[in-house]
Amino acid sequence: MPPKWRTEPRFPDGPAPDPAGSHHERRIRSFQPRRSRVTTGQGEALKRLWGTWGLDIDGHSVIDLEALFGGLPVVLEIGFGMGEATAQMAAADPATGVLAADVHTPGQGNLLALAERGGLSNVRVANGDAIILLREMLAPGSLAGIRVYFPDPWPKARHHKRRLIQPEFLTLAATRLAPGAVLHCATDWEPYAEQMLEVLTAHPDFENTQADGGYAPRPDFRPLTRFEGQGLDKGHVVHDLLFRRTEN
């Protein structure tokens, strides 16, 4: 029997518990759905706004990004947490559409509430597996960028295969990025940063934006999040990696 998070709709007009369930596949996933309490405000935002600004990653059809964002160039953000940084970046750059994908229901509701409060018409919230979104629902060359900020580092050696930034993911991502578009990763887990740098440097479809071939300074457009601040207070070192999709 599938776990309850896959079968029980928490919000009848909101995100589906398992939108791509019919596309079940035996694949190691880089995320684990988390069950945590949805606040009243988050729940109200999901009920009120999901039909307008939300979409389920069901794998059934290719998204018309031009229609969805009114012709804006679109950046995909994979894993946005509670959405504070996503909302800040969207507000600072209204000429770019942000397709924000996550499986965390409280975060989805929080980002929708932030978008409504800030009048951010350039934000859409996608619920489900970003791999299915990239592979089955986005057209080749349709993205102006991809952001992966503080993905789960899966620190135990036996779990490293679950890390998102792997050669297979980069190959898929490259097909959906327009030539010259940037994949921007950030992590405060040193071993994961080293792996990211290694696999990105080795991949033929990406080139480092840094002349020295190393990490990039944190760009001004990426806000310092509360999560990041907590890590810095603990002595963590945050690494940004900005790699450009090659023209080949």
As given in the structure block, the two tokens for residue 151 are 């993905």
CA 246/CA 248 separation, integer angstroms: 6
234 is known to lie in a ligand binding site: no
156 is known to lie in a ligand binding site: yes
Q: Is there a catalytic annotation at residue 152?
A: yes
226 is known to lie in a ligand binding site: yes
161 is known to lie in a ligand binding site: no
Beta strands in the chain (DSSP E): 54-56, 74-78, 97-102, 123-127, 143-149, 177-187, 206-208, 239-245
CA 74/CA 218 separation, integer angstroms: 21
228 is known to lie in a ligand binding site: yes
Contact 105, 51 (CB under 8 A): no
User: What is the C-alpha end-to-end distance of the chain, expressed in Å?
Assistant: 46
Amino acid sitting at position 61: S
Going by their DSSP bridges, the two strands 143-149 and 97-102 should be labelled as: unpaired
18 is known to lie in a ligand binding site: no
**Catalytic one of 152, 212, 233, 240:** 152
188 is known to lie in a ligand binding site: yes
CA 54/CA 111 separation, integer angstroms: 10
Residue positions forming the annotated binding site for S-adenosyl-L-methionine: 77, 102, 129, 152
Residue positions forming the annotated binding site for substrate: 156, 188, 225-228
Residue positions forming the annotated binding site: 77, 102, 129, 152, 156, 188, 225-228
Catalytic sites, residue numbers: 152
